[in-house]
């Protein structure tokens, strides 16, 4: 029988400072009526864009926690992985997906590893190669433009045509995932930022664009994929879920921008979370041919 409250296994880090990973995943999924079961990959004093970060990677504990979940016969309506604390964890997550796989389940891999053309400080070229193996297991992946370039071994440039992004989506879909979403695609000389979605079964592309604001907040990718995934779990179509996710982030950036504030803390989620408590209000997606 269908659960009254659907449940997702979230394989992400817990960072004490800065709204990334589990700190934003919990409030977003809870507001959207979905229970989060957290499998922490690492505990950090802050996310990695602060200097002097202290990181505890939880490889051994993950293996023990997963064994406990198996003994409890846990099952999940969706699985969602993000920031991983070590290269070894990529194999742990691959095995987790195999062990907990169900036919009617959504497996989301956000290949968190890079932004603005550069790998995050804790990531190496070897992890990029392993991440290419992890996305094969996913139904849906949500790389930003930089991560898509790393996954494909392509050169990153912040000037890229929509045609080329569509081609990247097709190549990524050949690796296994049915849904590819590439975010942070600059348009109109950087005046707009687009997110492109491709659904391999129906061979359709969608795009949602918003005005670009000159600010960058860590964790927006985690919040984006959380809203997108929760909306799909609630029954939204892919383009409507994309629309909700893009517009939620845009609202969060606008609510934050203009405050005298350290951008490393992330968007002020608490000021906009309530807008997620209800069905879609407006929509602006375009179908690409
Ligand atoms: O949202 C990306 C992210 C997640 N987790 C940690 C990070 C970052 C980005 O900097 O450092 C620990």
Instruction: Give the CA radius of gyration of the chain.
Output: 18
Q: What is the pTM of this model?
A: 0.97
Instruction: Say how far apart CA 190 and CA 214 lie, in whole Å.
Output: 10
Give me 113's structure tokens: 């590893």
Which of 218, 220, 223, 267 most suits a substitution to test ligand 1, by most atoms within 8 Å of the C-beta?
218
Intervals of the chain under pLDDT 70: none
In Å, the largest CA–CA distance within the chain is: 54
Closest by alpha carbon to 63, among 37, 41, 38? 41
Give me 196's structure tokens: 């492109």
* Backbone dihedral angles phi then psi of residue 122, each to the nearest 5 degrees: -90, 5
Residue nearest to atom 1 of ligand 1 (CA): 219
Rounded to the nearest whole angstrom, what is the distance from the C-alpha of residue 109 to the centroid of ligand 1?
15
In the DSSP assignment, the letter for residue 257 is T
Instruction: Say how far apart CA 162 and CA 219 lie, in whole Å.
Output: 24
In words, the CATH class of domain 7-288 is alpha beta
Rounded to the nearest whole angstrom, what is the distance from the C-alpha of residue 142 to the centroid of ligand 1?
15
Which of 11, 12, 21 most suits a substitution to test ligand 1, by most atoms within 8 Å of the C-beta?
21
Rounded to the nearest whole angstrom, what is the distance from the C-alpha of residue 106 to the centroid of ligand 1?
23
80 contacts 141 by C-beta, under 8 angstroms: no
Give me 78's structure tokens: 């969706």
Angle between helices 22-31 and 220-234 (to 10 degrees): 30
Residue with tokens 């600059």: 186
Residue nearest to atom 2 of ligand 1 (CA): 219
Strand pairing partners for 204?
A: 199
Element (DSSP H or E) covering residue 200: none
Give me 287's structure tokens: 């179908």
Rounded to the nearest whole angstrom, what is the distance from the C-alpha of residue 203 to the centroid of ligand 1?
32
- DSSP one-letter string for 56-94: EE-HHHHHHHHHHHHHTT---SEEEE---SSTHHHHHHH
Rounded to the nearest whole angstrom, what is the distance from the C-alpha of residue 17 to the centroid of ligand 1?
11
Element (DSSP H or E) covering residue 9: strand 7-11
The domain spans of the chain are 7-288
| Integer angstrom CA distances of residue 208 from 114, 171, 186, 197 | 22, 21, 12, 9
Rounded to the nearest whole angstrom, what is the distance from the C-alpha of residue 187 to the centroid of ligand 1?
25
Residue nearest to atom 7 of ligand 1 (CA): 47
In the DSSP assignment, the letter for residue 32 is T
268 contacts 255 by C-beta, under 8 angstroms: yes
Ligand 1 pocket by C-beta < 6 Å: which residues?
A: 13, 15, 20-21, 44, 47-49, 83, 112, 120, 218-219, 221-222
Which of 15, 109, 269 most suits a substitution to test ligand 1, by most atoms within 8 Å of the C-beta?
15
Instruction: Say how far apart CA 67 and CA 73 lie, in whole Å.
Output: 10
Residue nearest to atom 6 of ligand 1 (CA): 47
Look at residue 105 in the predicted model and tell me its pLDDT: 97
Look at residue 214 in the predicted model and tell me its pLDDT: 87
Which of 54, 80, 83, 252 most suits a substitution to test ligand 1, by most atoms within 8 Å of the C-beta?
83
Nearest atom in ligand 1 to the alpha carbon of residue 20 is: 1
Look at residue 289 in the predicted model and tell me its pLDDT: 82
113 contacts 123 by C-beta, under 8 angstroms: yes
Look at residue 86 in the predicted model and tell me its pLDDT: 94
């Amino acid at each position: 029988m269908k659960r009254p409250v659907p449940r997702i296994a979230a394989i992400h880090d817990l960072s004490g400072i800065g709204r990334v990973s589990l700190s934003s995943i919990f409030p977003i999924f809870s507001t959207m009526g979905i229970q989060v079961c957290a499998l922490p990959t690492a505990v950090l004093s802050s996310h990695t864009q602060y200097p002097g970060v202290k990181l505890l990677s939880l490889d051994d504990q993950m293996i023990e926690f997963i064994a406990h979940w198996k003994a409890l016969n846990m099952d999940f309506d969706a699985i969602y992985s993000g920031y991983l604390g070590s290269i070894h964890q990529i194999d742990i997550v691959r095995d987790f997906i195999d062990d907990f796989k169900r036919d009617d389940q959504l497996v989301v891999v956000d290949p968190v590893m890079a932004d603005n053309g550069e790998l995050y400080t804790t990531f190496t070229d070897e992890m990029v190669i392993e991440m290419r193996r992890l996305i094969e297991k996913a139904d849906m992946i949500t790389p930003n433009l930089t991560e898509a370039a790393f996954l494909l071994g392509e050169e990153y440039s912040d000037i890229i045509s929509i045609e080329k992004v569509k081609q990247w989506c097709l190549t990524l879909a050949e690796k296994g995932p049915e849904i590819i979403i590439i975010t942070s695609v600059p348009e109109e000389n950087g005046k707009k930022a687009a997110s492109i979605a491709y659904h391999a079964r129906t061979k359709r592309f969608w795009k949602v664009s918003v005005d670009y604001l000159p600010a960058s907040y860590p964790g927006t990718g985690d919040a984006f994929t959380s809203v997108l995934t929760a909306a799909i779990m609630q029954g939204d179509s892919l383009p409507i879920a994309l629309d909700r996710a893009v517009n939620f982030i845009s609202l969060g950036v606008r609510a934050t921008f203009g405050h005298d504030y350290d951008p490393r803390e992330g968007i002020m989620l608490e000021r906009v979370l309530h807008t997620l408590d209800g069905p879609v209000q407006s929509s602006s997606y375009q179908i690409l041919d």
